[in-house]
With several copies, the nearest count.
Chain A
Amino acid sequence: MAYEVKIDDQIYRVEVEEDAGAYQIKVGDRVYWVDVAQPQPYFYSLIINGHSYEVDISPQNDQRDILVEGKAFHTEVYDETRKPLLSKKKLEFLEGEQKIVSSMPGKVISILAQPGHQVKKGTGVIVIQAMKMENEIKAPKDGEIKEIRVTEGKTIEAGEVLLVIA
C-alpha cells in the first residue's frame, strides 16, 4: 500500500509491503527492510539493517505525533488509495492561508493585532491564559491578518479557530 507522509512541510511517498513476517518499506526510492515488533499499543521496536529504533506514535485521525528515540516529529499520513494526492496546489494553499487554532481550552486575555495588519513571523497576535500561564499565540509566518474570530475575555475551546492569516 502507498501513503503520502507530510513532515516539516515536505511530502514523501511511502510504500509499505508485508513479506513473510517482515516489512519492505520504500521511502521515495530508498528501500528498507524493517523487522517490526509491537509489544505495546502506540509503541514499535524497529530493527532496520541491524539498527534498533524505539518509536512511539500518538495518532489522531491522519495526524501522527512520533517520537523516534525520544526526538519529536509531527506527521500527516494520507492513504493514496483513499484520498486524492496532496497536490502541490493544496500545499501552496496551506502555505498561503492559515487558520490558527487553539490547541487547548483557555481564555483570551488580549488581542495584539487587528484584521488588515501586516505581521512578521513570530509577532505576538493573541494572548491566551491556559494552565495558569499567559501564552502568546505568535504569527506562524509573515503575512496579513485576515480575520480575528475571538474577543478579549472570551473562553475558548480546544480546536477553536482564533484567527486567519494569509
Chain B
Amino acid sequence: MFRKVMVANRGEIAVRILRALKEVGIPTLTIYSEADRNSLHVRMAEEAYCIGPPPAEESYLQIKKIISLAKDKGVDGIHPGYGFLAENPVFAQACQEAGINFIGPPAYAIEAMGSKTRSREMMQDAGVPVVPGTTKPVRDEAEIFRLASDLGYPIVLKAVAGGGGKGMRVIKRAAEIKSAFRATQSEAQSAFGDSAIYVEKYLENPRHIEVQILGDKFGNLIHLGERECTIQRRHQKVIEESPSVLVDEEMRRQMGETAIRAARAVGYFSAGTVEFLVDKHKNFYFLEMNTRLQVEHPVTEMVTGIDLVKEMLKVAAGHNLTYRQEDIKFRGAAIECRVYAEDPLNNFFPCPGKILSLRTPGGPGVRDDTGVYPGFEIPIYYDPLISKVITWGRDREEAIHRMARALQEYVINGVKTIIPFLQGVMEDKHFLQGDITTEYIDQKLHRGSLVDAGYFKEVAVLAAALDAYRTEISRGTNSFPKINGLKMVDNPWKMTGRRMLLDSRL
C-alpha cells in the first residue's frame, strides 16, 4: 500500500497511528522536537528524526523541513494526526507537489472548511442548516453591537480560522463586547495567525453532537453514526460518547445524511467529522467540519468495529471504502475520557512534570490510548492531553460503570491529572441520566465530591506520616526497613497489637 509512512505528530495520536501502521505492516517514520526525544512515539516508530527546537513553530510546523526529510527517507505517505499541520491546506498541497500522499482529505476541502465564514456560506448553499449569524468577518465593536441587537444576547465571537474550541468568547451583555472582541482577536492571532472574527447566535445549553463520515476518492461517502461531545470545559471536549442518548434511529439517519451532504459539498474523502449544535427541540445546526481524525474517534471505532486510521490509509492509497452504509452496524455504547495533566483542585491549571509511576487500566471493554509512560517528563510546550481511556459496554450504563472502574485502576503519580474529576463525573447522577449541556461542568457537577472521600482522607494522613517515617529510616540505613522480618518484642501491649493484626489476617 505504502513503502513508508511518516507520522507528523506527537503524543497519543502519533502512537495510535503508529499502531495502525504496524498492524498493516507499513514501515514507520516519525519526527520529534528537541523537547520530545524521550516521547513514546519516538520509541515506537522504526525511524525517528529530530526536526527542530521545542516550540511547534520551529519543529512540528516546519513544512519545508518535514517534506524534505520525507523525500530524503523514501516516505510516500504522511499522516498528520490532529492539530499541528492536520488542517493546514498549504501542507496538504506541499505533500501533493512533492509526490507524497497526504493521508487525509483534499487540500481544497481543508481550505473550504477551515474558514468558518466560508464554510457557513457553502453549507447554506448546500441546504445544510447553520446557526444564525454572519457569514463574513466583523470589522469592529460597533458591528458586533448591531448584530447582537438583531440576534439577541447571548452571542458568541469566533475566530474565522478557529476550531476545537479555541479562539471563542461568549458575550452575554453589551458591556462585554469591547474586552471580548480584543481578547478573541488576540487569541485568534496567536493561535491561528489570523485575527478575523465572526459572530453567531449563542445557543444556550445546546447539545454538541457530531457525525463521523468516511469517504473514498470515488465519491463514496458513508457515516458511522454520532458522537455526543456535550461535556466541555473551556469549550474543549472532555468526555465523549457514542451513541448519544438524545439521538434515535431516525434522527441518526437525518444527521448522517446531512453530514454526508456537507462533506459532498466540498468534495470530501478520508475521515472527517461534521459537528452540529442541537437545541432543546432537537433541531440540529451545522457548526463546523473537522477535516481530520478527531481526538474522540475511538468511541466510533468501538461501537462500529471499524479501524478509522486503517480506512484513511486505504482511501489515501486509492482503494475503495471497505464498507457500504448498510454494512455499518452499531453495537453497544462507548465512552471516552480525556486525561489532561491539569489540577482539577486548582481551576484545571496545567501541570507538566515527571511521571513517577503509572498504572493503566485493563480488563474487558477497556481501551487505553496513551502517549506517556513511567519516567516520562511531560514537556511544557504542547497540549496537556496525555492519554485517553475508552470503555465499551452493552449499553450506556455498562460503559459508564466500566469507565468508573477503569478510572479507579488508572493511576498517574507524579503529575496532577483530571482523573479524580472524571471519576466524579462517572458517579454524578445528572451524567448517569444523560442530563448534560455544554455548561454541565460549571453548573451541575458538585465540585466538593472531588475531595469528599470520607475514610480515604484518614488513610492519606496516615500514609503521609508513614512515608515520612520510612523515608527518614531509609536515609539513615540506605535501605527500607525490612517489613516482613521477624523481631522479638518484649513490650506486652505491642504483642497484643501484633496479635490483633494477625487475627485480622485470620
Contact = CB atoms under 8 A, between A and B. Distances in A.
Contacts of A74: 345
Nearest to A25: B462
Interface string A39-81: 1111111111111111111110000111111111111010100
B463 interface: yes
Contacts of B42: 45, 47, 52
A122 to B, nearest CB: 9
A3 B413 CA distance: 23
Interface string A104-142: 111000000000000000000000001111111110000
A86 interface: no
A12 interface: yes
B416 interface: yes
A130 to B, nearest CB: 5
A91 interface: no
A70 B410 contact: yes
Contacts of B505: 35, 47, 50
B218 interface: no
B76 to A, nearest CB: 17
A57 B413 contact: yes
A50 B504 contact: yes
Give the one of A33, A73, A74 with max B CB within 10 A: A73
A103 B343 contact: yes
A43 B47 contact: no
A78 to B, nearest CB: 8
Contact of B460 (A21, A68, A132): A68
Contacts of B345: 72, 74
A136 B38 contact: no
Contacts of B489: 19-20
B363 interface: no
A123 B18 CA distance: 44
B382 interface: yes
A94 interface: no
Contacts of B234: 133
Contacts of A51: 46-47
Contact of A66 (B374, B460, B484): B460
A71 B452 CA distance: 9
B227 to A, nearest CB: 23
Given A19-B498, A133-B350, A3 B382 contact: no
B440 to A, nearest CB: 19
Contacts of A7: 457, 460-461, 464
A45 B43 contact: yes
Contact of B467 (A1, A37, A57, A106): A57
B483 interface: yes
Contacts of A23: 466
A33 B374 CA distance: 27
Contact of B487 (A21, A45, A73): A21
Interface residues of B, number: 83
B38, B346, B469, B486 pick with most chain A CB within 10 angstroms: B469
Nearest to A133: B350
A71 to B, nearest CB: 4
B472 A68 contact: no
B483 A25 contact: no
A131 B383 contact: yes
B483 A37 contact: yes
A131 B350 contact: yes
Contact of A68 (B384, B453, B485): B453
A8 interface: yes
A5 B356 CA distance: 22
B411 A67 contact: yes
B380 A14 contact: no
Contacts of B52: none
A32 interface: yes
A42 B357 contact: yes
A136 B347 contact: yes
Given A56-B411, A75-B461, A43 B350 contact: no
B351 interface: yes
A16 interface: yes
A135 B350 contact: yes
Contacts of A67: 411, 413
Contacts of B458: 27, 30
A115 to B, nearest CB: 21
Interface of A: 1, 3, 5, 7-8, 12, 14-16, 18-25, 27, 30, 32-59, 64-75, 77, 79, 103-106, 130-138
27 contacts: A5-B465, A8-B457, A16-B465, A16-B466, A20-B489, A22-B483, A23-B466, A24-B494, A25-B462, A35-B505, A36-B466, A38-B470, A39-B377, A40-B357, A45-B38, A46-B463, A47-B505, A50-B505, A53-B463, A57-B464, A75-B460, A77-B467, A77-B468, A103-B349, A104-B350, A104-B352, A131-B352
Ranked nearest first, the 6 interchain pairs of A and B with the lowest CB-CB distance are A40-B375, A14-B465, A73-B460, A56-B413, A39-B375, A131-B350
